[in-house]
Chain A
């Protein structure tokens, strides 16, 4: 238990569906992150929020839409996804939002997404 929870743990959706992933952190951190993890590939940073403000958007397609209503909650809204979007989506949080070198990230267990 890392203090970061994600729901759902598994999700199967069709290309025309709309769904949302939810992340919640109980650590009092100021920054939250969405990552995509595909087999045998490095973690891909998708979005970063610092104090509820989006500070990074690494050229992510618009079919992925993040939302951060407060510093404890983060959502990833999904619509008209493609089969190549099937992956493990990880949420993480950290204290300083990447403003210090030792800013350790705490990860949730991830959502395993399958797009049919």
Chain B
């Protein structure tokens, strides 16, 4: 079966750095997405990786290793507004998105 694993919850301190991991086992691979979802709001797109390596976008970076079935989202200089759930999703060989259950990130002052 297809499976996406990510931690259920993480806590970090304002101003610090946090890394949210995602491992996947899917039938085929056509890219990996990270979305951010604030409580009661729509998920919004953060990043897309299809090749191995690091993609940097401001305070957020996303890394992919296809051989290891592994990705992480790195958030730097954490702000209180970064408190949200972070969803990892993989597009399989049928171009269907397979979703993880999300990681709830709690930022403390």
Query: Which A residues fall within an 8 A CB radius of B?
Result: 2, 4, 40-43, 45, 56, 90, 98-110
Contacts and interface: CB of A to CB of B under 8 A. Distances in A.
Given A107-B43, A108-B42, A101 B91 contact: yes
Query: Which 6 residue pairs spanning A and B have beta carbons closest together?
Result: A101-B30, A98-B95, A101-B31, A107-B42, A42-B99, A43-B99
A89 B99 CA distance: 15
A23 to B, nearest CB: 11
B42 A102 contact: no
Interface residues of B, number: 26
A40 B98 CA distance: 15
Contacts of A40: 8, 101-102
Interface in B61-108: 87, 89, 91, 94-102
A6 to B, nearest CB: 9
B4 A109 contact: no
Given A98-B91, A98-B94, 15 more contacts: A2-B42, A4-B42, A40-B8, A40-B102, A42-B99, A42-B100, A45-B97, A56-B96, A98-B95, A101-B91, A102-B31, A102-B48, A103-B95, A107-B35, A107-B42
Contacts of B102: 40, 42
